[in-house]
Amino acid sequence: MEWASWSEFWHMAGYGLYVWGSYAVTLAAILIEVILLKRAGTDTRRRLKRMQQWEEQ
Amino acid sequence: MNLYTYASPANFYHLAGKLIPWFAWSAGLLTVWGLYISFFLAPTDFQQSEAYRIIFIHVPAAWMSMFIYLVMAFWGAIGLAFNTRLSFMMARALAPTGALFTFIALWTGALWGKPMWGAWWVWDARLTSELILLFLYVGIIALWAAIDDVKRGDRAGSLLTLIGVINVPIIYFSVKWWNTLHQGSSINLTKAPSMAAIMLQGMLVMAIAAWLYTIAVTLVRVRRIILERERHTDWAKAILEAK
């Protein structure tokens, strides 16, 4: 274990901005991809269903 | 069991549906393990202090950005050569995640470059060729989106992917071929890695997690594409009606 305290952990020997900036943006990017993917899935399904009902009429 | 069974979109749709949770959960677990190694087991670097911890996402993301492109080009080539429907769908499903990892590699690289080189960005061969990779991904996605005719779009996008594949060895060997500010690789196939074993382990765990994540999201995306393209078939209609 490298860290004496949590504040030392967040500080990252003065490189906190760079280290956490990297990890935070990576996490955000992945979350955005997953959310968009979920939304696109339901949208597509809804649209296809509507098209199908339309074609059956 | 015949492996070709899964070249049929209907069978692959169901298989992918079963596999997704496994890939997603193992990606999540490995990420937790990888992060634990990255922040609690890996020691402080004697040259770069704590800033080097960016490596645990930067390197796996950069690997994925190149590797996904190669897989995309592979599926594109198979599709162009054999006219197999599922191959083109796989190529389309991979592209957004490839672009995502390219962006992450560039972003974390900038945040690493600033404290170590004193610059967010330099036009050296490694950084520039990686930026071109991002443009290639975006260009290919835009091309696919712009062509309404599915078959023509598939072929055009895959052709562009294949032309762009020349950029991948350029990225990979750029640190050897040119005098770059970017450091050479710490790991390669011929020499022992020039980094501590625990750091290497953290990086590899994160890389495998990135792999599993990529497979999971690609399968989700390819299922959507399959459903969209197969909507006139009986099996797809049955699925849509059930929901």
**In the prediction, which pLDDT does B134 show?**
98
Q: Residue A10: pLDDT above 80?
A: yes
* Nearest residue to B158 via CA among B66, B65, B84: B84
Question: Is the confidence at residue B160, as pLDDT, over 90?
Answer: yes
When pLDDT is cut at 50, 70 and 90, the band that residue B31 belongs to is very high
Residue A25, domain member (yes or no): no
Element (H, E) at A35: helix A16-56
Mean pLDDT of the region B188-203? 78
Average pLDDT over residues A9-32: 95
| Contact criterion met (CB < 8 Å) for A45 and B61 | no
Please give the radius of gyration of chain A, using alpha carbons only, rounded to the nearest integer: 22
- Judge whether A53 lies within some domain: yes
Residue A41 falls inside a structural domain? yes
Smallest Cβ distance to B57: which of A26, A34, A44? A26
Q: Look at chain A and report how many structural domains it folds into.
A: 1
Predicted pLDDT at A51: 86
pLDDT classification of B65: cutoffs 50, 70, 90? very high
> What pLDDT is attached to residue B186?
73
Q: Among A10, A23, A44, A56, pick the best mutation site for testing chain B contact (most B Cβ within 10 A).
A: A23
pLDDT value, residue B179:
83
State which residue of chain B sits closest to A13, comparing Cα positions: B50
* pLDDT at residue B67 is higher than 80: yes
Mean pLDDT, chain B, whole residue set: 92
Chain B residues whose C-beta is within 8 A of a chain A C-beta are 39-40, 43-44, 49-51, 53-54, 57-58, 61, 96-97, 100, 103-104, 107-108, 111-112, 114-115, 213, 217, 220-221, 224, 227-228, 231, 237, 240-241, 243
Out of B50, B97, B224, whose CB is closest to A19?
B50
Of A13, A25, A52, the CB nearest to B240: A52
Q: Which residue has the higher pLDDT, A55 or B210?
A: B210
- Which segments of chain B does DSSP mark as H helices, in order? 9-36, 55-82, 85-117, 125-146, 150-164, 167-177, 197-229, 234-242
Q: How many residues does chain B have?
A: 243
Residue burial B133-152, b: 16+ Cβ < 10 Å; e: rest: bbebbeebbebbeeeeebee
Residue B243 lies in a domain: no
Residue B183 included in any domain: yes
Residue B2: pLDDT band by 50, 70, 90 thresholds?
A: low
A18 assigned to some structural domain: no
Domain with A46, as residue range(s), is 31-57
pLDDT at B71: 97
Q: Classify residue B120: in a domain, yes or no.
A: yes
Which chain A residues have a beta carbon less than 8 Å from that of B61? 26
What pLDDT is stored for residue A55 in this prediction? 80
Q: What pLDDT is recorded for position A4? A: 87
**ipTM here:** 0.92
Average pLDDT across chain A, whole number: 91
* Average pLDDT rounded to a whole number, residues B27-40: 96
Kindly state whether residue A21 falls inside one of the protein's structural domains.
Answer: no
In a domain, B184, yes or no: yes
Number of domains in chain B: 1
Q: Mean pLDDT across the stretch B111-126?
A: 92
Question: If you average pLDDT over residues A9-27, what whole number do you get?
Answer: 94
Full domain range(s) for residue B112? 20-39+53-237
Mean pLDDT value across residues B156-184: 92
- Tell whether B161 is covered by a domain: yes
